[in-house]
Amino acid sequence: MTRILGIETSCDETAAAVVEDGRRILSNVVASQIDLHRQYGGVFPEVASRQHILTIMPVIRQAMAEAELDWDDLDAIAVTYGPGLPGSLLVGVNTAKGLAYGRGLPLIGINHIEGHIYANWLKVDDPPQEIAFPLLALVVSGGHTELVLMTDHGQYRRLGHTLDDASGEAFDKVGRLLGLEFPGGPAIEKAAQEGNPLAFKLPRAWLKGTYNFSFSGLKTAVLRIVQKYEDKVSLSTGSARNSRIAVSQAPSVIRQLPVTNLAASFQASVIDVLVEKTRVAAKEHQVKLIMLAGGVAANRLLRQQMGERSALPVLYPPPALCTDNAAMIASAGYFRYRAGHRSDWGLDVISSLKLTDR
Ligand code: KG4
Ligand code: ZN
Q: Quick check: 269 pLDDT over 90?
A: yes
- Average pLDDT of span 264-276: 98
321: part of which helix (H) or strand (E)?
A: helix 319-322
Q: By C-alpha distance, which of 215, 205, 191 is closest to 264?
A: 191
User: What is the whole-number distance in angstroms between the Cα of residue 175 and the centre of ligand 2?
Assistant: 19
Q: By C-alpha distance, which of 138, 133, 131, 132 is closest to 158?
A: 138
Tell me which residues have their CB closer than 6 angstroms to ligand 1: 11, 141-143, 168-169, 171-172, 183-186, 189, 294-296, 298-299, 323-324
Instruction: Name which residue sits closest to atom 3 of ligand 1, judged by CA.
Output: 323
Give tens-digit pLDDT for 41-96. Answer: 777 888 889 999 999 999 999 999 999 999 999 999 999 999 999 999 999 999 99
Assess contact for 162 and 213: CB atoms under 8 A: yes
> Helix, strand or coil for residue 166?
coil
Give tens-digit pLDDT for 278-331. Answer: 999 999 999 999 999 999 999 999 999 999 999 999 999 999 999 999 999 999
Give tens-digit pLDDT for 122-134. Answer: 987 766 678 999 9
Instruction: Name which residue sits closest to atom 14 of ligand 1, judged by CA.
Output: 185
Band of residue 12 on the pLDDT scale cut at 50, 70, 90: confident
